[in-house]
A = this chain, B = another copy of it.
């Protein structure tokens, strides 16, 4: 279970390889990469600046990873979330879950992403064409997060 909050980009190959090295009972490794899009609440997004709450962010990400580990039989999991100034195409987040069986890895990875969206203290400022807008929380993210509220 690894959680990191960092400004710089990550090496997906190295991160994923580290998750399963020497763990030969792992059959499936599912990962999610979130990317900055060139559209959003602004029609045209030239940059996105991510702000977070140091101290609280680490705790929440750790809790989310722990919750995933309680719900599924994972051999390892990873959350790397970036902050700071990003541009379209840049990577925002890497989430990964490794398990003996692929279904657990898929479910755990999607769970972590859904909870990140609604629980992790990050805020996104979109800028483009002279406009700036703080991204608002999405109803469908709230719904996606809520479907995990009953433990399986």
Contact = CB atoms under 8 A, between A and B. Distances in A.
Given A24-B37, A88-B24, A106 B13 contact: no
Specify how many copies of this chain sit in the oligomer: 2
A149 B113 CA distance: 27
Contacts of A37: 24-27, 100
- On chain A, which size bracket covers the interface? 35 or more
11 contacts: A20-B35, A21-B89, A24-B37, A24-B38, A24-B88, A25-B38, A26-B35, A26-B37, A30-B33, A37-B100, A103-B144
Contacts of A145: none
Contacts of A52: none
Interface in A1-59: 11-14, 16-17, 20-39
